[in-house]
A and B are shown apart, each in its own frame.
Chain A
Amino acid sequence: MSGYAQDVVALARKDLTLELRARDTLPAMLLFVLSMLVVFHFVLPAGGSRLAANGLLWVAIVFTALLGLTRAFAAEREHGLLDGLVLAPCDRSAIWLGKSIAMLGFLVAAEVVALPAFALFFGAVDGTTVAAVALANLGICAVGTLIAAMASAGRARELLLPLLFLPLSIPIVIGGVGATVADDPGRYLAFLALYDALFAVLSWASFEYVVTE
């Protein structure tokens, strides 16, 4: 395995281990997404279309991801640990990649609970939706991790993260909802893949500048 890959694995393992020990982010995400789904039931008036519920699934995913992302660099900022990683000889983008992979793990874990719960409350979830969720996860984690690093450099970081992230998440939501409800999901899945590719490369390339002066 190349040095870069080894760094990424070491860093991702570090984040996953930290969460396993602290056990604060993932339970919060699970509880949050379930609460959201219950709220959605009361938000959809009778006779409302099934499609509306499908759209709301994406609201749940984006906001649950936001909750997780708020914690993404918490340890690093709390104890100045980002310095330790920036000092290391590894490529700074490896920090981003390792953290994104860990975030992806948390998000998928939350969805493993959320999607069946959604199916239980609102009706079955088809394969296309799962594919769309999988593709959207990549984009959310790629962009979200970079934005989380940005937000954590400032003062009102919990406020700043959603403000920076939400406009960037609009194309993801459009792609996801489209794949879920439209007749020809192929276009939307392709669009999600395009978004993922573009913004993953951009995030990978620019992370260096976000964590150094």
Chain B
Amino acid sequence: MWGDGGGRVITARRLEKRFGDKRVLRGLDFELPRGATLLVTGANGSGKTTLLRLCAGLAAPTRGELEVRAQRRDIGYLGHEPLVYRELTALENLELYGRLYRVPERRERIGMLLERFGLWDARGERAGSFSRGMLQRLALCRALLHEPELLLLDEPFNALDSEGAALLDAELAELARERTLLVATHDPERLAPFATGTLALA
């Protein structure tokens, strides 16, 4: 699954991303070893989101090299948008992604995740009626649905209430042990217990 690269899931060399004339990432070099949990820190606009989008394959680098030794089915992405359809129920949303990601034992897995994140009772409600915190939890379910080996999380604690944050804390502890994580955050202290390294963007 990981191919060559000596167990490095992501390798970036002189990575640059420009939007029109504005350079958001300039000459970035880093490596993400398998099993590591790397925190990406930096002020707003420093390119944390851009970096995660590049690693997810949602954007292409302007210059430089970026190698992500993981297929789409092994990548879980949590961005600023929860990426759920507001007119579909929580269940239907996860069903759709479950089918697209060919999740084995789909129903059971969906049920388990919804319960774990406290959304089981709301499973038949339209996502449009969810609070921002519930949407974020549903987004987490979506990102974790297919048990991805590589997790790209963009400020995952955003919009979570204290209960949701506690659930995520527990989940992250386990994930950081078993998977490879790249987490953008402006609160690195919170994640320090799990992190194996930090990447600070100018």
Please list the residues of chain A having a beta carbon within 8 angstroms of any beta carbon in chain B.
Answer: 3, 6-7, 10-11, 14, 17-18, 21-22, 75, 79-81, 83-90, 212-213
Q: List B2-35 residues whose CB lies under 8 Å from chain A.
A: none
| Docked-complex contact A84 and B97, CB < 8 angstroms | yes
| Docked-complex contact A6 and B57, CB < 8 angstroms | no
| Docked-complex contact B87 and A21, CB < 8 angstroms | yes
Inter-chain CA distance A21–B81, complex, in Å, is 22
Inter-chain CA distance A37–B84, complex, in Å, is 38
Contacting residue for A89 out of B60, B73, B96, CB 8 A: B73
Q: Which residue of A lies closest to B128 (CB)?
A: A21
- Residue pairs across A and B with Cβ atoms less than 8 A apart, 8 shown, are A75-B85, A79-B82, A81-B81, A81-B83, A81-B85, A83-B81, A89-B101, A89-B102
B contact residues around A80 at 8 Å (CB): 79, 81, 83
Q: Is B99 an interface residue (CB 8 A)?
A: yes
B contact residues around A79 at 8 Å (CB): 81-86
Interface of B is mostly: loop
Inter-chain CA distance A148–B57, complex, in Å, is 22
Min C-beta distance of B153 to chain A, whole Å: 14
Among B57, B86, B100, which residue has the most Cβ atoms of chain A within 10 A? B100
| Docked-complex contact A84 and B83, CB < 8 angstroms | yes
A contact residues around B101 at 8 Å (CB): 88-89
Inter-chain CA distance A14–B89, complex, in Å, is 11
Inter-chain CA distance A79–B87, complex, in Å, is 12
Min C-beta distance of B69 to chain A, whole Å: 15
| Docked-complex contact B83 and A83, CB < 8 angstroms | yes
B contact residues around A11 at 8 Å (CB): 96, 100
Inter-chain CA distance A80–B58, complex, in Å, is 11
Inter-chain CA distance A22–B59, complex, in Å, is 31
| Docked-complex contact A14 and B96, CB < 8 angstroms | yes
Contact with A along B72-109 (1 / 0, CB 8 A): 11010101011111111000100011011110000000
B: contact size bracket: 20 to 34
Q: Please give 10 more A-B residue pairs, beta carbons under 8 A apart, in addition to A10-B96, A84-B97.
A: A10-B99, A10-B100, A79-B85, A80-B79, A80-B83, A83-B83, A87-B56, A87-B72, A89-B72, A212-B57
| Docked-complex contact B57 and A14, CB < 8 angstroms | no
| Docked-complex contact A83 and B87, CB < 8 angstroms | no
A contact residues around B83 at 8 Å (CB): 79-81, 83-84, 87
Inter-chain CA distance A10–B97, complex, in Å, is 9
Inter-chain CA distance A14–B58, complex, in Å, is 22
Min C-beta distance of B20 to chain A, whole Å: 13
Q: Is B186 an interface residue (CB 8 A)?
A: no
Q: Which residue of B lies closest to A20 (CB)?
A: B87
| Docked-complex contact A88 and B88, CB < 8 angstroms | no
Q: Is B158 an interface residue (CB 8 A)?
A: no
Q: Which residue of B lies closest to A6 (CB)?
A: B99
Q: Is B71 an interface residue (CB 8 A)?
A: yes
| Docked-complex contact A213 and B72, CB < 8 angstroms | no
| Docked-complex contact B85 and A14, CB < 8 angstroms | yes
Inter-chain CA distance A17–B85, complex, in Å, is 11
B contact residues around A21 at 8 Å (CB): 87-88, 126
Inter-chain CA distance A75–B85, complex, in Å, is 8
Q: Which residue of A lies closest to B76 (CB)?
A: A87
Inter-chain CA distance A7–B79, complex, in Å, is 23
| Docked-complex contact B100 and A88, CB < 8 angstroms | yes
Among A11, A14, A81, A84, which residue has the most Cβ atoms of chain B within 10 A? A84
